[in-house]
């Protein structure tokens, strides 16, 4: 940690800061040029309250030279984490594809879509029983009935299931019906929920908030990891920018950036990341080329009558085409599908 004192900092300001640092069992190292004084801190700077220091007289800026996420970082663990969902491994050499409708609508719809994506080669089935919606008047999901459908479909298709959890009290019920709990973008900083899935010890798919930084995503993962649950998969699903042609802007840079910063697996969601079905395939290929460990793709057996997100869902035929196109790209980056 570095403390940059401002131009007008007095000798007393600097002495007070040095005393404060030593009181916290750290050491202060002073560097000075014509204009400013900088105080380097060694020892255990975690003991220092950053905000308190920023507010002390004479301080201009506090520069942290450490990553604030600890257990999620590559420094903490250099080898890649593999997360196992049913019999599927995420973060290994194989690229994993999760596919299915946005929302569970009926047993027929789920069974039909589940079979279609399995036959096309998907590894995990997705489907929302609880849907967080911007409007209180929109369809909010089939809830418990939806969970029963998911449980039935996973038994019939043999595919493990991922589904979004929206409240801490749902965690137990959902664990019985689904294999992986998803934290949606709107809940990325719902800390009560992060702690609840942290305690549950089950695989978690953590989606990046649409206006959250890469560092905030890693801090949210840290909430789960700090409860002892290391089975976390991160998902880049597009950020909010000024561009309005697409629903979100998939942050392709985030994929290799996360691979550098963390040992957790990273997947991409080009369906939400673009919001347009006609852009899903090229952006899915791009994500794999950039190093993603997998994809989450919205597929709907009958998108014309989907109760939500119809315009970004693929029909089964287009999903098959996407899977076919993925093969060569996966190979080109030295992985398998």
Query: Contacts with a copy of itself in 171-230 (CB under 8 A)?
Result: 186-187, 189-192, 209-216, 219, 222-223, 226
Contacting residue, 18, 84, 112, 249, with a copy of itself by CB under 8 A: 249
With contacts defined by CB under 8 A, name the span among 79-87, 93-101, 172-180, 325-333 that binds a copy of itself: 325-333
CB of 258 to a copy of itself, least distance (A): 10
Write out the two tokens for 198. 């942290």
With contacts defined by CB under 8 A, name the span among 91-99, 146-154, 269-277, 316-324 that binds a copy of itself: 269-277
Tell me whether residue 158 or residue 256 sits nearer to a copy of itself (CB atom).
Answer: 256
Give the chain's length.
Answer: 337
Contacting residue, 241, 317, 324, 336, with a copy of itself by CB under 8 A: 241
Write out the two tokens for 136. 């209180």
CA distance 191 to 220: 8
Asked if 93 interacts with a copy of itself (CB under 8 A), we say no
β-pairing, 96-100 vs 27-32, is unpaired
Tell me whether residue 140 or residue 152 sits nearer to a copy of itself (CB atom).
Answer: 140
With contacts defined by CB under 8 A, name the span among 90-98, 153-161, 174-182, 275-283 that binds a copy of itself: 275-283
CA distance 46 to 2: 13
Backbone angles phi, psi at 239, to 5 degrees: -115, 165
CB of 175 to a copy of itself, least distance (A): 18
CA distance 249 to 239: 5
Contacting residue, 100, 303, 314, 318, with a copy of itself by CB under 8 A: 303
Taking CB under 8 A as the rule, which mask of x and - marks residues 46-85 in contact with a copy of itself?
A: x--x-xx-xxxx--xx-x-xx-xxx----x----------
Backbone angles phi, psi at 136, to 5 degrees: -70, -15
CA distance 171 to 260: 31
CB of 92 to a copy of itself, least distance (A): 18
State which of positions 106-135 bind a copy of itself (CB under 8 A): 132-135
Letter string b/e over residues 62-92, b meaning 16 or more CB atoms within 10 A of that residue's CB? beeeebebebbbbeeeeeebebebbebbbbb
Contacting residue, 10, 106, 201, 253, with a copy of itself by CB under 8 A: 253
Q: How many other C-beta atoms are found inside a 10 Å radius of the C-beta of residue 220?
A: 26
């Amino acid at each position: 940690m570095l403390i940059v004192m401002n131009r007008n900092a007095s000798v007393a300001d600097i002495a007070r800061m040095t005393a404060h640092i030593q009181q916290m069992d750290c050491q202060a190292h002073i560097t000075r040029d014509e204009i400013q004084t900088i105080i380097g801190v060694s020892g255990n700077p975690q003991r220092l309250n950053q905000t308190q220091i920023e507010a002390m007289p004479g301080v201009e800026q506090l520069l942290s030279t450490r990553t604030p996420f600890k257990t999620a970082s590559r420094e903490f663990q250099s080898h890649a984490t593999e997360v196992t969902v049913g019999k599927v491994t995420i973060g290994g050499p194989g690229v994993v594809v999760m596919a299915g409708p946005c929302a569970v609508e009926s047993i027929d719809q789920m069974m039909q879509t589940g079979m279609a994506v399995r036959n096309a080669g998907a590894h995990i089935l997705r489907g929302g029983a609880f849907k967080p919606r911007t409007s209180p008047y929109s369809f909010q999901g089939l809830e418990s009935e939806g969970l029963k459908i998911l449980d039935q479909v996973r038994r019939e298709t043999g595919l493990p299931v991922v589904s979004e959890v929206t409240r801490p009290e749902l965690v137990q019920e959902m664990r019985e019906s689904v294999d992986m709990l998803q934290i949606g973008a709107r809940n990325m900083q719902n800390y009560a929920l992060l702690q609840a899935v942290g305690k549950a010890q089950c695989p978690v798919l953590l989606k990046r908030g649409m206006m959250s930084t890469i560092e905030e995503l890693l801090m949210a993962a840290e909430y789960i990891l700090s409860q002892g649950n290391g089975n976390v998969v991160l998902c880049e699903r597009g950020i909010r920018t000024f561009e309005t042609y697409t629903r979100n802007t998939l942050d392709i840079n985030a994929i290799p950036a996360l691979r550098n910063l963390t040992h957790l697996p990273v997947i991409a969601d080009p369906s939400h990341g673009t919001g347009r079905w006609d852009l899903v395939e090229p952006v899915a290929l791009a994500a794999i080329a950039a190093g993603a460990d997998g994809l989450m793709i919205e597929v709907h057996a009958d998108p014309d009558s989907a109760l939500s997100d119809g315009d970004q869902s693929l029909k089964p035929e287009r999903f098959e085409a996407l899977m076919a196109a993925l093969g060569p790209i996966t190979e080109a980056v030295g992985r398998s599908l």
